[in-house]
Amino acid sequence: MKKKKGAQKIVFKSEKDFPLMPMSVGSMLFNKTGAWRNIKPVINLEKCIQCGICWKFCPDVAIFIEKEWPVIDYEYCKGCGLCAEECPTKCIAMVEEEK
Amino acid sequence: MKKVIMGNHALSYGAKLGRAQVIAAYPITPQTQVVELLSEMCADKSLDAMFIKVESEHSAMAACLGASLAGARTFTATSAQGLALMHELLHWASGGRLPVVMGNINRAMAPGWSIWSDQNDSLSQRDTGWMQFYCSSNQEVLDTVIQAFKVSEKLLIPSMVILDAFTLSHTYEVVDIPDQKKVDEYLPPFNPSIKLTPEEPHAFGGLTSPEHYFELRYKLQKEMEKAPALIEKTGKEYEKMFGRYLGLVEKHRCDDADLILITSGAMGSTARIAVDELRKEGIKAGNLRIKVFRPFPFEIIRNAVKGAKKIAVVDRNISYGHHGMFFEEVKSALYGYSDGLPVFGFITGLGGRDITPSTFKEITQYTLERDKPKEEIIWIGVKL
Amino acid sequence: MKKEKKMKLSLPEVELMNSGHMACQGCGATLAMRFALKALGQKVALCIPACCWSVIDGPFPYSSLDVPIFHCAFETAAVSASGVKAGLEMVGDKETTVVAWAGDGGTFDIGIQALSGVAERNDDIIYICYDNEAYMNTGIQRSSATPYGAWTTTTPVKHFKNRPKKDMEAIMAAHRIPYIATASIGYPEDLVKKVKKAKEIKGTKFLHIFAPCPPGWKSQPEDTIKLARMAVQNAIFPLYEIEWGEKYTLNIKLKEKKPINDYLKIQGRFRHLTKKEIVFIQEEVDKKWERLLLCVNRSK
């Protein structure tokens, strides 16, 4: 599974750049929503049974599978805790963000 | 090919020759014949289009917007209450840069229920960013629809082709229906470079902050400012192929006129007759019929009235708390240009009250008898 | 050494929704979209009226989906989709699936006329309503999808919503459309299956997805899936399909319905309910379940 590449914030430099109708020309991937969280999930791979449930239930597509193991994308994870709550072996802990 | 058809059917033929691809419409008197004929044309495949029989005018415009965004040429028709119901989406069409073409039968706004001719319905929508074309003959209706497709699609601004209830919509006139092949030459298929497709996914019309909204609307106005020249250009191309020129206004004996009547719609052709009769009586009258109201033809009007001594604007509408809307706009166009020129504003014919050559004689009489207008509104024909 | 195995994912791997969107933490509506897009694939066009998703997608000039979107007027989701479908067909694209994606407000209330028109004509679109049971985008005002007893800003505790949730499935069934289904983000495999099934049918398909909302329901973000699961298990939001308005199929048969108390307890919007009111709600849920079973049995 490939993590999607980030995107740039868009700044219109001239009238020609500016779209003539209100339409999107770029991706929201520029918006690193990881900054929203206060607590973050940490997966204990020892107890992980590779069921894929955490990947399935992430509303922010912030868990991807790398070499058969789940990896959290901290750039975007908002710290909602759904992965920790749904994990059948409770191997994901929600820990306070260090400041 | 010449045929005797009603104004409503001139709209239908215009849409058919223009090869409209998606039509979504809801019936309302006096528009029904437009959509009835289009239904038949879709059913017998003389028009290759999908006709969505929607359950309201609001949905009619919504469907047209969706189809237009997908890249199809769209057409609809309505009147009065239906047009008012679409109001929110009229803004959508222009702001979304969707070149929908719509026929509107000028009909009085309720209450009380009226099905007769009145301009308030379309003029209430003058701020929505649509081009507005006021027709005075069935031939003009058909020719305007075809040209409207071309101009709208070049500028990506929607158009309204407007005709009077019954006086035009239900009146049979001889119309020269152009040959489809020639229209195809004049009007190529709609082929927008930007449209709704999974091949190049965009999100259209999303949340737009103060950071960007202003520029989008600035762009719309800038395009609209190109419209008068483009309408004249496409009009000249049409004349070359079909022998008829429309333009932004119709001037009848204005060049040496002392008094110029400014009119629109069906009463504009009645005024032409009145002018000829007045001329016979020795009065140097002229008629300036405004065909394109949006974009407002500032230059042409300023030039056309230069030689006149008085102007009489005739409105079949009123903006309550203000004046007739053509009067307002003409006066504002002349401000700073013909400041000494007296402009009289007449309101008549609301709710379909007949406007005849005598109405214009009365208007002319009134204007000739006074140096300047004393009233902001001069009511003609009110029985109180 | 730890026994490693190959991961078997129960949903398609493709992601057509990207990170960086504006949804709240634990948003059910977002998961509904993520799952639905996995089933639909990229050859799709969405019509999204005013709703949470008009904001979640991100502002101009960005989008968080890899599919085209028409952000349309509030009342018009269904008929905008009809228009898009007709337009695409006329320009030669008969393959793109057109989906109206609306919230409960834009479906049950202001959008119901357009939806009824589309269903009556059997226009070839998929209409998906993601239901968070109130006008959440504008700040949690009640809609006709708000359940009996819920607090919202326009049904404050002293005047809580005292009318039942509108039965959209029954209304859509009356239109005799080919396919109606309820789904829940707590059962994503079932949701994906239903969306895929809808994609293969011609005509109007109506899907109603249960999508909890932490700020609106006053629940914890991490409970969103739990709530979506519980609502199915206590029959507040049973999972079933209706074909042609007549054939009812129950997808999750409940041997024993769970009582609603645990479900209500973890939502702040129900905190004010008295024991008597909860008993009343349970009775209504029981009655509604019995009615559904009758329809299912009649269809056999």
Same domain, B259 and B238: no
Nearest CA in chain A to C68: A24
* pLDDT confidence of residue B133: 98
Is A74 in the C-facing interface, judged by CB distances under 8 Å? no
Examine the domain organization and report whether B286 and B195 are in the same domain: no
Q: Which of B242, B268, B303 is where one domain is finished?
A: B242
| B117 and B137 share one domain | yes
Which pLDDT band holds residue C101 (cuts at 50, 70, 90)?
A: very high
Same domain, yes or no: B235 and B108:
yes
Chains adjacent to C (≥3 CB pairs closer than 8 angstroms): A, B
- Please indicate whether, in this complex, the C-beta atoms of C221 and A37 are within 8 angstroms of each other: no
* A20 Cβ contact partners less than 8 Å away, ≥ 6 residues apart: B97, B156, B194, B219, B223
Q: Check whether C69 has a pLDDT greater than 90.
A: yes
Looking at the structure, tell me whether residues B223 and B306 fall in a common domain. no
Of A12, A15, A21, the CB nearest to B204: A21
Residues B255 and B210 grouped into a single domain: no
- In chain A, the percentage of residues whose pLDDT exceeds 90 is 84
Whether chain A has a CB inside 8 Å of the CB on C262: the answer is: no
Token digits for B310?
């008085």
- CB-based contact (8 Å) between A63 and chain C? no
In chain B, residues with a C-beta closer than 8 Å to the C-beta of C61 are 212
Interface of C with A in 87-126 (CB under 8 A): none
Cβ of C84 within 8 Å of Cβ of B66? The answer is yes
A29 and chain C in contact, CB less than 8 A: yes
Question: Do the interacting molecules here have an ipTM over 0.85?
Answer: yes
Cβ pair C193, C35 in contact under 8 A: no
Do B225 and B273 share a domain, yes or no?
no
- Over the Cα atoms of chain A, what is R_g? 17
Q: Does C80 map to a domain?
A: yes
C139 interfaces chain B, CB cutoff of 8 Å? no
Enumerate the residues of chain B whose CB falls inside 8 A of the CB of residue A19: 194
Range(s) of the domain holding residue B326: 249-379
Which of the 8 DSSP states describes residue B305? Answer: T
Residue B338 falls within a domain, yes or no?
Answer: yes
Closest CA to C177 of C239, C234, C96, C115: C115
Give which of C55, C67, C70, C113 to mutate to test B binding, by max B Cβ within 10 Å.
Answer: C70
Chain C residues near residue A82 by CB distance under 8 angstroms: 26, 221-222, 224-225
Q: Show the CA angle centred on residue C274, arms to residues C268 and C275, nearest 5°.
A: 115
Q: Is C223 on the interface with A (CB under 8 A)?
A: yes
Chain A: residue whose CA lies nearest to C3:
A49
* Residues in chain B within 8 Å Cβ distance of A12: 215
Report CB contact under 8 Å: A22, B204: yes
Tell me how far the alpha carbon of residue C154 is from its chain's centroid: 22
Residues of B in contact with C79 (CB under 8 A): 24, 52, 54, 59, 62-63, 66
Are both B237 and B260 inside the same structural domain? no
Residue B384, domain member (yes or no): no
User: In this complex, is the C-beta atom of C23 within 8 Å of any C-beta atom belonging to chain A?
Assistant: yes
- C-alpha span between B63 and B42 (Å, rounded): 17
In the 3-class helix/strand/coil scheme, how is B79-108 assigned residue by residue?
Answer: EHHHHHHCHHHHHHHHHCCCCCEEEEEECC
The domain A32-96 is classified under which CATH number: 3.30.70.20, 3.40.190.150, 3.40.50.360, 3.30.465.10?
A: 3.30.70.20
CA distance B285 to B271: 10
Closest Cα in chain A, distance from residue C256 (Å): 23
**Residue A33 to residues C20, C62, C256: CA-CA distances in angstroms?**
6, 15, 41
- Domain span including residue C102: 28-299
Cβ distance C87 to B206 less than 8 Å, yes or no, reads no
- If asked whether residues B238 and B340 sit together in one domain, one would say no
Residue contact B62–C73, C-beta within 8 A: yes
A98 pLDDT band (50/70/90 cuts)?
Answer: confident
Q: Dihedral through CA B234, CA B240, CA B241, CA B247, nearest 10?
A: 40
Q: Could you give the angle at which helices B7-17 and B32-43 cross, rounded to 10 degrees? A: 40
Count of domains forming chain B: 2
Q: With an 8 Å Cβ cutoff, are C76 and B59 in contact? A: yes
Give the number of A-B residue pairs with CB atoms closer than 8 Å: 37
Q: In this predicted structure, what is the pLDDT of residue C111? A: 98
Among the partner residues C4, C11, C61, nearest to A10 by beta-carbon distance = C61
Q: What are the C-alpha distances in Å from C125 to residues C43, C85, C94?
A: 13, 7, 12
Q: What is the pLDDT of residue C2?
A: 61
Here the CATH number for the domain that contains residue C165 is 3.40.50.970
B285 by DSSP, 3-state: which?
strand
Helix, strand, coil percent content, chain A, rounded in steps of 5: 15, 20, 65
DSSP track, B28-55:
-TTTHHHHHHHHHHHHTTSS--EEE--S
Say yes or no: B211 and B324 in one domain: no
- Residue type at position A58: C
For residue A4, what pLDDT is reported?
Answer: 79
CB within 8 Å: A80 and C26: yes
pLDDT band at C3 (very low <50, low <70, confident <90, very high): low
Residue found under tokens 């400014």: B262
* Domain assignment of residue C19, yes or no: no
CA distance B134 to B161: 6
Most A CBs within 10 Å, among C17, C19, C66, C230, to test the A interface: C19
> Nearest by CB to A30, which of C2, C9, C20?
C20
Residue B32: inside a domain, yes or no?
Answer: yes
Q: From the CA of C46, how many Å to the nearest CA of chain A?
A: 14
Within-domain flag for C23: no
Pairwise CB contact (< 8 Å): B208 & A25:
no
Residue-by-residue pLDDT tens, chain B, 384 positions: 999 999 999 999 999 999 999 999 999 999 999 999 999 999 999 999 999 999 999 999 999 999 999 999 999 999 999 999 999 999 999 999 999 999 999 999 999 999 999 999 999 999 999 999 999 999 999 999 999 999 999 999 999 999 999 999 999 999 999 999 999 999 999 999 999 999 999 999 999 999 999 999 999 999 999 999 999 999 999 999 999 999 999 999 999 999 999 999 999 999 999 999 999 999 999 999 999 999 999 999 999 999 999 999 999 999 999 999 999 999 999 999 998 999 999 999 999 999 999 999 999 999 999 999 999 999 999 999
- A68: chain C residues, CB-CB within 8 Å: 4-7
What pLDDT is recorded for position A53? 98
Chain A CB contacts of B219 below 8 Å: 15, 18, 20
Give the residue from A20, A25, A27 with the most B CB atoms within 10 Å of its CB, the best one to mutate. A20
A55 contacts C9? CB cut-off 8 A: yes
State which residue of chain A sits closest to B207, comparing Cα positions.
A22
Q: Do A85 and C225 touch (CB under 8 A)?
A: yes
- Chain A residue at shortest CA distance from B196: A23
Vertex C103: Cα angle to C195 and C199 (nearest 5):
15
Which tens digit of pLDDT belongs to each residue from C147-206?
Answer: 999 999 999 999 999 999 999 999 999 999 999 999 999 999 999 999 999 999 999 999
In angstroms, the CA C242 to CA C237 distance is 15
**Same domain membership, residue B277 and residue B214:** no
**pLDDT tens sequence across C21-41:** 999 999 999 999 999 999 999
CA dist B154 and B163 (Å) reads: 24
Helix (H, G, I), strand (E, B) or coil at B364: helix
How far apart are the C-alpha atoms of C14 and C66, rounded to whole Å?
11
Among A22, A24, A25, the residue with its CB nearest the CB of B216 is A22
Q: Number of residue pairs across A and C with CB atoms under 8 Å?
A: 125
Task: Choose one of B190, B214, B242: the last residue of a domain.
Answer: B242
Res C4: pLDDT: 72
Please name the member of A19, A27, A81 whose beta carbon is closest to the beta carbon of C64.
Answer: A27
Number of structural domains found in chain C: 1
DSSP string, C238-269: --EEEETTTEEEESS--SSPPPSHHHHHT-GG
Which residues on chain A are in Cβ contact (under 8 Å) with B206? Answer: 22-24
Instruction: Check C45 against B72: CB less than 8 A apart.
Output: no
DSSP single-letter state for residue C222: G
CATH number at residue B67: 3.40.50.970
Q: What is the CATH number of the domain that holds B308?
A: 3.40.50.920
Task: Identify which of B49, B58, B198 has the shortest CB distance to residue C96.
Answer: B198
What does the mean pLDDT of chain C come to?
96
pLDDT band at C1 (very low <50, low <70, confident <90, very high): low
Residue A43 to residue A64: CA distance in whole angstroms: 12
DSSP bridge pairs for C100: C47, C127
List the beta bridge partners of residue B262: B288, B313
Cβ pair C7:A60 closer than 8 A: no
Does any CB of chain A come closer than 8 Å to the CB of residue B204? yes
Smallest CA–CA distance from C82 into chain B, residue: B63
Shared-domain flag, residues B45 and B12: yes
Task: Out of C2, C31, C64, name the one closest to residue A57 (CB).
Answer: C31
